[in-house]
Amino acid sequence: MSRRLKLDAPPPPVLIEGDARVRALQIAKTEPRLPQDYVSEISRLWSRAQGAFLEIGRLLIRAKEMLPHGEYVASVEAELPFSSRTAYQLREAARWALGGPIPMERLPGSYSTIYLLSTLEPPVLDAAEKDGLIRPELKRAELIEWRRRRGGGQDLQGELRAKLERLRRERMRIDEEMRRLEQELAEGDEA
């Protein structure tokens, strides 16, 4: 038999991206087999998720700051695939993580845990650091338990003061933004 190329033979089948064979090859190529492979892949994806939630929080902050009053809640927050409470926690976690006292590489991988850390008064946060709590693998339940063991009720007054202080800072930020907008409007009226 001749080894010459047959010009009249049909071309080999082309694998289309949606083809089940392509999906099977992709899965076979990336599917973990050993426990450490699973841990490695899950950790890689979790790290990506942490970056994503911080970016989501940053975008939520920006949307709230830039959109006209009322439009953020009506046009953005109302359409999100999560609750307004989650949106608030994402914003506050991102605000604290991006400008906070703890380096990013030491922060936990969960926005809800970072949010809880952001609610701690500075002396309580210092105590958490001294107790070795501030680390990437910190779980929300562990932080809650640590707070409970520290005397939960005794911390309540401090936590209320810290929340009041955060609200005052937020009000100052809002007042400053309102002054800026009023100035822009006044300058626009003069033109």
Under 8 Å between Cβ of 45 and 36: no
pLDDT confidence of residue 173: 87
The CA-atom distances, in angstroms, between 70 and each of 127, 168, 176 are 39, 21, 18
Q: How far apart are CA 8 and CA 10, in angstroms?
A: 7
Band (pLDDT 50/70/90 cuts) for residue 25 is low
Rounded (5°) CA angle 142-143-144: 90
Helix 84-99 vs helix 35-66: crossing angle, to nearest 10: 100
Q: Quick one: how far is CA 153 from the chain centroid?
A: 29
Examine the pLDDT at 140 and tell me if it is beyond 80: yes
Exposure string over 8-21, b if 16+ CB within 10 A, otherwise e: eeeeeeeeeeeeee
pLDDT tens for residues 43-66? 777 778 878 999 999 999 999 999
Burial degree of 119 (CB within 10 A; 0-12, 13-18, 19+): middle
pLDDT tens for residues 118-129? 999 888 899 999
* Length, in residues, of the chain: 191
Q: How far apart are CA 127 and CA 155, in angstroms?
A: 12
